[in-house]
Amino acid sequence: MIKDSWLFKPFTDKPIALISEDGEWIGSFKCDLEPETLKRFYRDMLAARILDERLVILLRTGKTSFVAPGAGHEAAQVGIAHAVKPKFDWLFPYYRDMGLMLALGIPAVELFAQAIATKADPNKGRQMPFHPGSKEFKVFNVASPIASHIPPAAGAAISMKLRNTGEVAVCTFGDGATSEGDWHAGINFASVQGAPAVFICENNRYAISVGYEKQTASENIAVKAQAYGMPGYYVDGMDVLASYYVVREAVERARSGHGPALVELVVYRYGPHSSADDDSRYRPKEEVELWKTQKDPIERFRRFLEKQGLWTAEWEASLREEITAELAKAAEEAEAAGEIPAEWMFDDVYAEPLWPQKEQRALVLEELS
């Protein structure tokens, strides 16, 4: 049952929004966030955008082999990051969530190191780029097979319920994931067990090169929650405050024993699906430009802050300079850490290495000597 005191109703006809395109607050309740928190949201969105740009530069300069651009997802990802308890709740992200992980507090040096596989990567360079994880922040390693992380998120959430830990598992994915069998199995199981989980779709309207209407007949993603007996929230993911408040409520709802929820954050990705994709083959440039110039989430939130007296051009310039310097330093530190030794691939397979790993490690060292 959904308590009457919840702010948001599921299964709305239109995406839930709290800020209009021109930056006016349109929520039915008062925004209770402190000015410094609102400015922090803006800083995190800018940092996510600049991080995205720097990671693309790593690809262009041959320092990494793969990127999955996140520009256009900043409001959704920053909203999610601030709606959970860092290092307490568990996050099961997907490969486009670098901005989310940065806003969560994961050091930028670790994200750069993961992208270029240096010793500063806590995962020892054993994942493909854009597949980070963090034991400290309870971030499950990103998995490439689409929706394969949904069942582990459901299982972790069921464990949290059985052990009464008070934690919540937050799992993100793209719209294409909702057409996969693993998605159905994981969400169905979480719902049946009343697990404290929040499943969040960052719906950017394209499953790689397949448009939304060609990969699902559902009118939206949120409505799919009906089939699993959980609330489904249809949200404007280009609105950082709508993303934050709805996800916060879904997390609080799950933490208080009301079971899982599905949240759809409608966004738009500006770049291709990945560095292996040519998006000009399946969507017009005019469509991309329309979203960039008229619906950008950072610009929309900037207009809101300006109306609140919290934004000036001088602050913006200072903020950009500060973030750019921080990320440049992190990138330099990640690169300076040095390449991962090849024999590290055999670490952590077993607590005590078995003879095959020992033999293979010796062969690698002999080959490289």
- What is the phi/psi pair of residue 339, to 5°? -65, 150
Exposure of 23 by Cβ count < 10 A (0-12 exposed, 13-18 middle, 19+ buried)? middle
CA distance 45 to 51: 10
CA distance 235 to 15: 4
CA distance 265 to 73: 9
CA 316 to centroid of chain Cα atoms = 24
CA distance 369 to 363: 10
CA distances for 244 relative to 188, 240, 324, 349, angstroms: 25, 6, 25, 38
Active site residue 255: no
CA 166 to centroid of chain Cα atoms = 22
- Inter-residue contact 124 to 340 (CB < 8 Å): yes
Active site residue 269: yes
Contacts of 5 (CB under 8 A, 6+ apart): none
The active-site residue, picked from 253, 269, 300, 302, is 269
CA distance 270 to 68: 11
Active site residue 273: yes
The active-site residue, picked from 49, 82, 131, 273, is 273
354: left (phi over 0), alpha (psi -120 to 50) or beta: beta
Of the candidates 103, 39, 37, which has an alpha carbon nearest to the alpha carbon of residue 70? 103
Please report, to the nearest 10 degrees, the dihedral formed by the alpha carbons of residues 223, 226, 232, 236 taken in order.
10
The CA-CA-CA angle for residues 140, 252, 244, to 5°, reads 75
The active-site residue, picked from 282, 303, 320, 361, is 282
Q: Enumerate the active-site residues.
A: 269, 273, 282
